[in-house]
Amino acid sequence: METIAPPARDGVAPAAPSRAVPPPPRRRRSKDAGDRRFALALMAPAALFLAVFVLWPLVRFVYDSFFEISPFAGAGRTFVGFANYAAAFGSETFQSASVRTVVYTVVVVTAEFVLGLAVALLFTALGRRSAVFRTIFMYPLMIAPVVAGLLWRFLLIDNFGIVNELLTRAGILSDPGQIAWLSDPRIALFSVAVPDIWLTTSFITLVLFAGLQNIPGDVIEAARIDGARYPRILFSIILPLLRPVIAVALIVRGIDAARAFDIILIQTDGGPQNSTTTLSLLIYRTMTRFGDPGLASAMGTVYLVAMLAVAIAAGLLIWRPGGTAR
């Protein structure tokens, strides 16, 4: 607001009202440069850590994929170009492991999303009354995958597993060994997915529940006043508004499920008949058991590129960069 100058006295002109003088452009540019240097100084330790422990091993990993490397220390290496990649793509074992990885990921992520969304909606409907249940439901996140794998192995093991014993006592099964959860190649892959679903459904629930808290309640209330039923509200209002949150949850969880290793290793070690051997297990075996670091590096590089492509595609389909939901 501009101030009014006082009237002139004795013919003396009134003083001009004081105004804030903006700093010179040079001083402003110097301040901006100082802020940028300060920000870079804060980022430097993290950037150095990523360069040493992430970027350099990744570059080395890709570099090794073009060589035939002896597993013995001090042995030489031979440049073979794309021979390792040709061997990987031509391997039936690699192709089968890739298919199993896709199936495992789709089953795990789909089940976790459906269960997680249902529980998140239930917690939202209960409001503050769900505080205790939310705490209990997050308990599996505190358990290590190896421990979860061992726990479910004892539950699903043939003949004397707790699950088959309970089903037998309930009259559903006639014999405790009737269903070989971890020994039947036809169902073993789905059986080892159960601990993963139990372990990380809480994560999906937590993310979706946080997203549901940001949906305006008046929008849902207006839809109810207009006569919209809950299924229509869910698919026309809630899920579209949750698309950015769903994108983050599915991408993070999808990549995590695709690299499942320890939880499968502890249950079946990739068996029976390689029916649960995923890409992570195959790369590990190629490196340690078969002693071929070059081929293992090529398989790992293909896996990394595929995961990056899937993550980018999922982000573009569900949530455009910039936060605009389609």
Q: Which two tokens stand for residue 89?
A: 């793509």
Beta strand 77-79 with 67-69: parallel, antiparallel or unpaired?
Answer: antiparallel
Question: Which CATH superfamily, name and number, covers 83-325?
Answer: MetI-like (1.10.3720.10)
pTM for the whole thing?
A: 0.81
pLDDT along the chain (326 residues), means of 10: 52 53 60 76 86 87 88 78 93 94 95 94 87 86 90 87 89 86 92 94 93 87 87 89 89 90 92 92 90 91 90 74 44
What residue ranges do the domains of the chain occupy? Answer: 83-325
Dist. CA 105–CA 2, nearest whole Å = 66
Report d(CA 152, CA 268) in Å as an integer: 11
Q: What pLDDT is stored for residue 325 in this prediction?
A: 41
* CA 171/CA 221 separation, integer angstroms: 47
